[in-house]
A = this chain, B = another copy of it.
């Protein structure tokens, strides 16, 4: 609509390229369509139509439909990776670390709603190599949260009777499920969500007993 001649290729300065426009546009629109309709329910002609071109013309920019999915999922995985693994070194107490990890995790989901949705929904349709890559990667995320809980139990900041595996499951449920309900335009920032979730998880939903007496007041 606005400008039909999309990219001025910057003729004199190609070394540090300004952006790669068309290929990235395709990936972006594919993220949107795959997340809205699903991978198999999106045809290459649908995708091309949204970009104002013909189905076959896509193949001047990309190699195949599979490669598109792999690109989207890998990119999402790298986002999670980059957000969480810088935390491994930090020496915060476990509750603070859990709070911070949840914040970063939810922010990645919130900032990449479309590719995160594709990541959680369509990873089963990846080619075998990409499939096992993603599966292994998810195991390391599980382990990250599990180790975090174990550390907290050891240092005494978390309840000693916790099952680390189940605790990690619970935390992951909270942060991952966000892709189903969070809407970036709404009133809550990713930080708001993470703070509320972490508060509820760490200190519990139950009202504190009425201070003094152990039974009736």
Residues in A lying within 8 Å of B, measured CB to CB: 36-38, 40-41, 95, 98, 121, 124-125, 149, 152, 156-160, 162-163, 166-167, 169-170, 172-174, 176-178, 181, 193, 196-197, 200-208
Contacts of A193 in B (CB 8 A): 166
User: For the complex formed by this chain, how many copies does it contain in all?
Assistant: 2
Contact A170 B158 (CB under 8 A): no
Contacts of A160 on B, CB cut-off 8 Å? 207
- Are A205 and B167 interface neighbours, CB within 8 A? yes
Chain B residues within 8 Å of A201, by CB: 170, 200-201, 204-205
Alpha-carbon distance A168/B75, docked complex (angstroms): 31
Shortest Cβ-Cβ A-B pairs, 7 listed: A204-B204, A40-B40, A173-B177, A203-B204, A173-B173, A202-B206, A173-B174
**22 A-B Cβ contacts within 8 A?**
A37-B124, A38-B38, A41-B125, A156-B207, A157-B206, A159-B208, A163-B196, A166-B197, A169-B181, A170-B197, A170-B200, A170-B201, A172-B177, A173-B173, A173-B174, A173-B176, A177-B177, A201-B201, A201-B204, A202-B205, A203-B204, A204-B206
Interchain CA distance A167-B202 in the complex, whole Å? 13
Other than the given A38-B125, A40-B40, A166-B196, 11 more pairs (CB < 8 A) read A36-B124, A121-B121, A152-B205, A157-B206, A158-B206, A159-B204, A159-B208, A172-B177, A173-B174, A202-B204, A202-B205
